[in-house]
Chain A
């Protein structure tokens, strides 16, 4: 079963338009949503949660249209938004009490375990927490009711590298259960490269690609050559290029490039920058 299926999703703000978005997240997998600021990542997440109203398309969340019995579906969702949104005066203990009356499957022991694991004080108000601590509390809340789908909008932002690593391990652990899935958007592309099974790249409201990470990285490669060599490549081979006094560095489709030209592997960050900024 797919945890999330989006078909032809459209949202028009006038100055910004999310256009015909198609995404599929199979259960047991992690899908990373990459895009520059304003690309439409948060808009997509808000549309999935029906916090904003779509203009077209369909969204199927855990097997149900996201407008049908959404309250019931949300019992199975763990969500962390860019701005965690917990009231500043509440302590972690009070947040736990509120959530215990919110989620049917709230697990207070698991919540306390996460608070200890993240070194979060139970009795201090949320507003006294650093950005990283606030994010960690948001993640603890999202995980403590045994959700099936985690939806994370920039949830690793503000975390120090050690905690980020730990949080990424938790997300990885989470998807070991085949009925679980994670949708994560992040600017920190290296994080997504570490944990994601699928990658979707958004640019100015349009989906540039959505496919398995390994297949995506195998499909593309980087070549370093002269402008003349580049001009001899077949049409469509070059997907992005950056010129410098030392020649041209280009993102290419491996299968269209002759074998005599050396192709080096591309990482996700380079792929993203080439597709968004240096696209030809």
Chain B
């Protein structure tokens, strides 16, 4: 498993270098930008697609077949992408939160509530993308998997519109921001774990 992690870190260092630079620039800009959270949220979005990007490169380079000849189980081959997702997700989450604290301090407007809200939003954004996309990619491959994912996103948009109509967004702040963060973190962890298990099951059945 260490070998797989090392290989993905080498690949991330090579292919995702520009992403990492972008993360630093965006966070730096967020200190001095307007009130928009875009520059703080965007790095997490970028980090969340790194595992998917790596899988696309794996397929292009025929690593998918090569890895099938090595002494790794299908579960390990899947797990390494989830671990990479966690690693980059956590790093970007922490960096975004630090940047956010610095931004608030510069404006003398520190707010724990706002920080909790931001952390919840980043968790949802960081987990939702790979959590939903990866099982499709492990089942259908990077290209077909992406198409299925976009169909799913459309479906989720419809659900969120319906949820908004039912007043779910007003119910969350009523729980208190720290509780909201706890609930969101628990749901995100559950979703990620479920996605992880599903991906292993799909990949075990896939022919390489």
- Complex formed: what's the CA distance from A89 to B61 in Å? 10
Q: Which residue of B lies closest to A75 (CB)?
A: B71
Judging by beta carbons under 8 Å apart, are A85 and B10 in contact?
no
**What is the 8 Å Cβ interface bit string for chain A, positions 117-157, against chain B (1 contact, 0 not)?**
00000000100000000000000000000000001000000
Query: In residues 77-124 of chain A, which contact B (Cβ within 8 Å)?
Result: 77, 79, 81, 83-90, 94, 97-103
- Complex formed: what's the CA distance from A99 to B4 in Å? 9
Q: Which residue of B lies closest to A73 (CB)?
A: B71
Binds A, one of B41-49, B62-70, B122-130: B62-70
Judging by beta carbons under 8 Å apart, are B3 and A85 in contact?
no
Judging by beta carbons under 8 Å apart, are B61 and A87 in contact?
yes
CB contact under 8 A between A46 and B208, given known A74-B70, A79-B69, A83-B62: yes
Choice from B3, B62, B207 contacting A101 with Cβ under 8 Å: B3
Query: In residues 55-80 of chain B, which contact A (Cβ within 8 Å)?
Result: 57-58, 60-73
Q: Is A184 an interface residue when CB atoms closer than 8 A count as contact?
A: no
- Total interface residues on A, CB under 8 Å, equals 30
Judging by beta carbons under 8 Å apart, are B63 and A102 in contact?
no
**What is the 8 Å Cβ interface bit string for chain B, positions 197-208, against chain A (1 contact, 0 not)?**
000000001011
CB contact under 8 A between A98 and B3, given known A84-B62, A85-B62, A87-B58: yes
Q: Is B14 an interface residue when CB atoms closer than 8 A count as contact?
A: yes
Tell me which residues across on chain A come within 8 A of B208, comparing CB atoms: 46, 51-52
- Complex formed: what's the CA distance from A151 to B70 in Å? 12
Judging by beta carbons under 8 Å apart, are A71 and B73 in contact?
yes
- Complex formed: what's the CA distance from A74 to B68 in Å? 10
Judging by beta carbons under 8 Å apart, are A89 and B14 in contact?
yes
**How far apart are B67's CB and chain A's nearest CB, in angstroms?**
8
- Complex formed: what's the CA distance from A88 to B61 in Å? 6
Judging by beta carbons under 8 Å apart, are A94 and B71 in contact?
no
Judging by beta carbons under 8 Å apart, are B71 and A72 in contact?
yes
Tell me which residues across on chain B come within 8 A of A46, comparing CB atoms: 68, 207-208
Q: Is B6 an interface residue when CB atoms closer than 8 A count as contact?
A: yes
Interface of A, helix, strand, loop or mixed by DSSP:
loop
- Could you write out 22 A-B pairs with CB less than 8 Å apart? A49-B68, A51-B68, A51-B207, A51-B208, A52-B207, A71-B72, A71-B73, A75-B71, A77-B69, A79-B69, A83-B65, A85-B61, A85-B65, A87-B57, A88-B57, A88-B60, A90-B7, A97-B6, A98-B3, A99-B3, A102-B3, A102-B4
Give the A-B contact count at a CB cut-off of 8 A.
82
Interface of B, helix, strand, loop or mixed by DSSP:
helix
Q: Is B110 an interface residue when CB atoms closer than 8 A count as contact?
A: no
- Complex formed: what's the CA distance from A151 to B68 in Å? 13
Judging by beta carbons under 8 Å apart, are B71 and A81 in contact?
no
CB contact under 8 A between A90 and B11, given known A85-B61, A85-B62, A98-B3: yes
Among A49, A85, A101, the most chain B Cβ lie within 10 Å of the Cβ of A85
- Complex formed: what's the CA distance from A53 to B57 in Å? 25
Judging by beta carbons under 8 Å apart, are A89 and B207 in contact?
no
Query: In residues 4-62 of chain B, which contact A (Cβ within 8 Å)?
Result: 4, 6-7, 10-11, 14-15, 57-58, 60-62
Q: Is B108 an interface residue when CB atoms closer than 8 A count as contact?
A: no
Tell me which residues across on chain B come within 8 A of A86, comparing CB atoms: 61, 63, 66
4 more A-B residue pairs beyond the given contacts A46-B207, A74-B71, with a C-beta to C-beta distance below 8 A: A71-B72, A89-B15, A98-B3, A102-B71
Closest 9 CB pairs of A and B: A85-B66, A102-B3, A101-B3, A89-B14, A79-B69, A74-B71, A85-B62, A101-B2, A51-B68
Judging by beta carbons under 8 Å apart, are B69 and A51 in contact?
yes
Judging by beta carbons under 8 Å apart, are B2 and A51 in contact?
no
Query: In residues 111-130 of chain B, which contact A (Cβ within 8 Å)?
Result: none
**How far apart are A179's CB and chain B's nearest CB, in angstroms?**
19
Tell me which residues across on chain B come within 8 A of A98, comparing CB atoms: 3-4, 6-7, 10
Q: Which residue of B lies closest to A88 (CB)?
A: B61
Among A49, A89, A103, A125, the most chain B Cβ lie within 10 Å of the Cβ of A89
**What is the 8 Å Cβ interface bit string for chain A, positions 10-36, against chain B (1 contact, 0 not)?**
000000000000000000000000000
Q: Which residue of A lies closest to B68 (CB)?
A: A51
**How far apart are A183's CB and chain B's nearest CB, in angstroms?**
13
